C-alpha cells in the first residue's frame, strides 16, 4: 500500500508538469523527463518495499 501511495504521489504531479513542459518546450523532451522520473520513482518504491520486507523479517 505504501508503495502504491508513493508512486501515485510522485507520478501524478509529474504528469501535470510533463503536459506543461510538452506544451512549452517539446513533447520528446517531456517524454524523456517522464521516463527518468518514472525510473527514479520505481527504484525508490523498490527500496521502500525491500526495507519493509526486511523489517517484517526482524519481527
| pLDDT, position 23 | 92
Give the up-direction half-sphere exposure of residue 53: CA atoms within 13 A in the CB hemisphere. 7
Q: Which residues of 2-34 are buried (b: 16+ CB within 10 A; e: fewer)?
A: ebeebbeebeeebeeebeebbeeeeeeebeebb
Cell 501524478 belongs to which residue? 12
- What's the pTM value of the predicted model, to 2 decimals? 0.63
pLDDT tens per residue across span 17-58: 888 888 999 999 988 988 888 898 889 888 988 988 888 888
**Domain range summary for the chain, segments of one domain joined by +:** 14-58
| pLDDT, position 41 | 81
pLDDT of 3 higher than 70 = no
| pLDDT, position 44 | 87
- The 10 Å Cβ neighbour count of residue 38 is 14
Amino acid at each position: 500500500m505504501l508503495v502504491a501511495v508513493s508512486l501515485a504521489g510522485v507520478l501524478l504531479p509529474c504528469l501535470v508538469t510533463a503536459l506543461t513542459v510538452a506544451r512549452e518546450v517539446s513533447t520528446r523532451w517531456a517524454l524523456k523527463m517522464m521516463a527518468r522520473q518514472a525510473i527514479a520513482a520505481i527504484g525508490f518504491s523498490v527500496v521502500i518495499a525491500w526495507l519493509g520486507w526486511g523489517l517484517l523479517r526482524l519481527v
